[in-house]
Structures are given as structure tokens and as C-alpha cells.
Amino acid sequence: MPKYKGIIFDLDGTLMNTIEDIGDSVNEVLQAFNLSSYSYEEYKKKVGGGFRKLILNSFPEDTNENTIDRALEMLYQIYAEKYLNKTRPYDGIKDLLDILSKNDIKLGVNSNKKDEYTKNIINKFFNDIPFVKICGEREGIQNKPDPTAALEIAKSMNLKVEEIIFIGDSKTDISTAKNAQMDSIGVLWGFRGREELVKAHAKYIVSNWEEILDIVG
């Protein structure tokens, strides 16, 4: 019997390398407001909390709320055109998902990316993987690290929280797992790094996808 019967994945920095499309989109917004752009490496530290937080992290601290709202609206419009340009799964992810699904491990996705984009990315790259439930950012549902969406996925899987492990690349993901009373795996190929995952108390930290198979059992 596998140790875990279900897995919930973060999207950005875990299943998918999305940083270039995100960075290109925010930089276009910043240029429209005559502000300096950032590198992809810098954006790795800014993403993870949803688009409003990304705009707040990218604009000067004293920016007024009206400007933030306008910039956010512009970001949604620009990203809608760009978000499938350079975004690709990390190496080995498709193999990992194939093996897990063939072993009857139930799979879900919990992202702070807009629900529509999250579902479209999954459908484009993993349309043959039977995800039980895919949750992105939705009206009326708190973003991660709030556990609401993770618990919703657990309910759809018809599994207890202790039968599920949450996999992500950031403190936000590890905190989500903790708040949902799930075990967690931090991945090192994403946007953050070992130090953040250690400080967040990830139960496991992995540097390649094969290690996930060993943990799941």
C-alpha cells in the first residue's frame, strides 16, 4: 500500500516553469507606468501570492490603491495574451504524473494563479492526466496559505488529510500544507530554494522528481 493516496501540486515553480511569461507581462505593465523592469531571477522572489501581491511587490511601496488596481487590470489583460508563450513543464514532470496516475494516486492542483489560467495550462500540457480537482484563484476563496482550496480538493478525492501530501516550491505551499494538516514536499527546481523550504519546515525536500516516487511509496 502506498504511504500517500493523494497528492496536491502547486503549479508555478512546481509543475510548470512559468516565470518568463509572468516576468514579461509584469515588465510590460511597469514600462507603461514608466517604471524600471526586473529580471526573471528577481521575479522568482516576487511571485507566489497571486497577481495583486505580485503588483504590490513590483511597484514602489508608496503607490496608491487606484494605480495598483489599474496596473492589476492591465496585467490580467497582458498575461492573458502571453501566458502560454514560454511556459513549459519542468523536465520529468509528465513522467512523474503518468506513473502516479497509473498507480492510482489521486492528483490535484492548488494554485494562486487565476483559476482560468491554471485550468488552461493543465489542459494544454497534461490533458491525459486524470486530475480529480484543479483549483486556481477564485472570487470568495482565500489564496494559499489559506487551506480552503486544499481541503476542497481533499474532499473531492474522498481522502483524509493524513492520506495526502502537498508538493510545492515555496513557504506559501509548505504553510498551506501545515494549515490543512497535510505532510509536505518542497521541490528545489522551482522559484525559491532550500533555505526557504527548511525554514518553512517542509517534511521532505527533493531535488528531482524520482525522489517523490520514493516518498509516496
Same domain, 25 and 13: no
Instruction: Assess if residue 106 is contained within a domain.
Output: yes
Quick check: is 64 in a domain? yes
Tell me, yes or no, whether 164 and 113 share the same domain: yes
Question: CB of 31 within 8 A of CB of 124?
Answer: no
Question: Does one domain contain both 70 and 106?
Answer: no
- Give the pLDDT of residue 39: 98
217 or 116, which is more confident: 116
- C-alpha 181/C-alpha 183 separation (Å) is 7
- Residue 135 pairs with which residues in a beta bridge? 110
Grid coordinates representing 107?
A: 492528483
pLDDT beyond 70 at 1 = no
* Co-location of 56 and 104 in the same domain: no
Average pLDDT of the segment spanning 90-100: 98
Q: Which residue range is the domain that position 76 belongs to?
A: 19-82
Q: Which cell numbers in the block locate residue 37? A: 523592469
Question: DSSP code of 162?
Answer: G
47 and 109 inside one domain? no
Q: Where are the alpha helices (DSSP H) in the chain?
A: 19-32, 40-46, 51-58, 65-82, 93-102, 115-125, 148-157, 171-179, 194-199, 209-216
Question: Number of folded domains in the chain?
Answer: 2
Helix (H, G, I), strand (E, B) or coil at 187: strand
The three cell numbers of residue 90 are 519542468
Assess if residue 151 is contained within a domain. yes
Sign of CA dihedral 175, 54, 43, 17: positive
pTM over 0.85: yes
Mean pLDDT along residues 143-172? 98
Assess whether pLDDT exceeds 80 at residue 14.
yes
Last residue of a domain, one of 63, 82, 101: 82
Q: Answer whether residue 1 is part of any domain.
A: no
Same domain, 25 and 120: no
Percent of the chain with pLDDT over 70: 100
Q: Are residues 102 and 78 in the same domain?
A: no
Judged by average pLDDT, the poorest of 36-40, 47-51, 79-83, 159-163 is 47-51
Q: Among the three residues 57, 82, 107, which one is the final residue of a domain in this structure?
A: 82
Query: CA–CA distance from 172 to each of 9, 60, 115, 157 (Å)?
Result: 12, 23, 18, 22
Q: Is residue 67 part of a domain?
A: yes
Mean pLDDT value across the chain? 97
Query: Average pLDDT of 8-18?
Result: 98
Same domain for 169 and 64, yes or no, is no
The CATH number of the domain holding residue 58 is 1.10.150
Based on the domain organization, do 71 and 150 belong to the same domain? no
Residue 215's DSSP bridge partners are none
End residue of a domain, out of 82, 117, 132: 82
pLDDT band at 209; cut points 50, 70, 90: very high
Q: Do 93 and 196 fall within a single domain?
A: yes
Per-residue confidence band for 49, with pLDDT thresholds at 50, 70 and 90 = confident
User: Which residues contact residue 28 at a Cβ distance below 8 angstroms, ignoring those fewer than 6 apart?
Assistant: 78
Q: Are 59 and 68 in contact (CB under 8 A)?
A: yes
* 204 within 8 A of 215, measured Cβ to Cβ: yes
Give pLDDT, residue 217: 81
Q: Identify the CATH number of the domain in which residue 125 sits.
A: 3.40.50.1000
183, 112: one domain: yes
Neighbours of 137 (CB within 10 A): 21
Phi/psi at 175 (5° precision): -65, -35
